Amino acid sequence: MTLPATSTPATDAELIARWLSGDQRAAGELVQRHAGPLARFAASLGVRDEVDELVQDTFVRAFQSLDSFRSDSALRTWLFTILKRLLLDRKRAERRRRDVAELDERDAATEYDALDTLVGDETAARIRGAVNGLTPLQREVFTLRVNEGMAYAEIAEVVGSTEGACRVHYHNALRAIKERLSDD
Amino acid sequence: MTECGKDTLRDQLPLLARDALAAEAAARVRAHVAGCAACAAELAVLERAGALFTAVTPAVDTAAILRALPTPPGARPVLTVQRGGRRQARIPQYVLAAAASLVLVATLALPTIRSVFNGGPVVVVDSGIPSVPTVPVDLVGGANLSDLGVDELTALLAELDRFDGTVAVEPVAMRQAVNGDFGGDL
């Protein structure tokens, strides 16, 4: 009796090592694995037309310094962190162009209208309204938890907070959404 | 306090909503959700929110991303890095060119030097370099350099110095001249 052949997908660390030794295909696997989640994160943060460009810039930035990447941190976490920094840089540059002083939470909240494009069903619309009412930090924590199933420690690394604080932000976000849904 | 109150199962709800739990863990969480109204409501919200986020996410052109990526370090020549992080110095191309020219000149000058020491005809190659006054140097009869006086050695060195520049004749013509064949146009 022969056992079916099983192939375990290569880990991120293995793919990075392969790419560093000259295997371009390893980059393809890494991009396929992480592009979708990065795009989802960007979209959930309010990016609309530039998702593609932002995700591409994130990968380019990451691969340019991949040889210095320390694998004690997850590649996924690192990529999300890069994307978030790039996004903040863009927002700051945009604000400078518009001659507006500071990036504050109200600005970020009003920019979060990517979900406006979805008018599918009533529950989705109510969730959209509820998510729009979250603070930016709550929204980041909530989307990373819901979209990617990230652990709080990993989320803390991306958003620059503590694990405990992220847990609180998530539960506050969830409670706010539930209350908003029950009010409607 | 219930199990979900301690967040042990509740923390798994986002993973269950994304269908990212292993079969055994998923079954355990589902069994709990079936009897817990709070977790069931939360799971419904998470599933809806996840679907919402996915729906608004545009497709990403992964081929364009790959085209934009840098070449893997292993696929291109790299400088050797010494221990301690210092790069080995590369020899500049002009230094290599100068060294090659020097070797060529030395090779071409060798027959002339031999000719001098063997008492043969001294070939003066018009290299375009201003000539220096020459003192006849006679090393015929087994004489060696130690037999030469200061003036003679100075003259010999001056003669050799004339070959430090670029040679103005082809190597073949030079060889013919050294061998006594003056048929060519020197």
pLDDT reported for residue A44 = 84
Query: Mean pLDDT, chain A, as a whole number?
Result: 83
A59 in contact with B at a CB cutoff of 8 Å? yes
The answer to whether residue A17 neighbours chain B at the CB level (below 8 Å) is: no
Residue with token string 């539960």: A171
Task: Check CB contact under 8 Å for A114 and B69.
Answer: no
Distances A65 to A58, A60, A136, B73, B149 between C-alpha atoms, Å: 11, 9, 29, 11, 68
**Cα torsion B169, B173, B177, B181: sign:** negative
What pLDDT does residue B88 have?
47
B171-178: long-range contacts at Cβ-Cβ below 8 A with a sequence spacing of 24 or more? B171/B108, B174/B108, B174/B111, B174/B123, B174/B125, B175/B111, B177/B123, B177/B125, B178/B111, B178/B112, B178/B115, B178/B123
CA distance to A11, A123, B18, B120, per residue, from A56 (Å): 21, 33, 25, 76
Checking ipTM against 0.90, whether it exceeds it is no
pLDDT in tens, A95-111: 887 765 554 544 444 44
Selecting from A26, A43, A146 the residue whose C-beta is nearest the C-beta of B58 gives: A43
The residue among A94 and A160 whose pLDDT is bigger is A160
Residues of A in Cβ contact (< 8 Å) with B75 = 22, 24
pLDDT of residue A111: 44
pLDDT of B57 reads 84
Q: Which of A171, A176, A127, A179 is nearest to A152 (CA)?
A: A171
pLDDT, averaged in runs of 10, over chain B (186 residues): 64 88 92 91 88 84 93 66 48 68 75 64 52 52 66 76 56 53 45
Judged by CB atoms closer than 8 Å, whether chains meet at B73 and A143 is answered as: no
Q: Chain A contacts of B64, Cβ < 8 Å? A: 52, 56
Selected residue of B39, B53, B76, B79 to mutate for chain A interface (largest A Cβ count, 10 A): B53
The answer to whether A114 faces chain B, any CB pair under 8 Å, is yes
Lowest mean pLDDT among A19-28, A121-130, A143-152, B120-129: B120-129
Are the beta carbons of A60 and B68 separated by less than 8 Å? yes
Is pLDDT larger for residue A87 or for residue B82? A87
CB contact (8 A) between residue A22 and residue B60: no
Residues of A in contact with B71 (CB under 8 A): 24
Query: Domains (ranges, CATH) in chain A?
Result: 11-103 (1.10.1740.10), 120-184 (1.10.10.10)
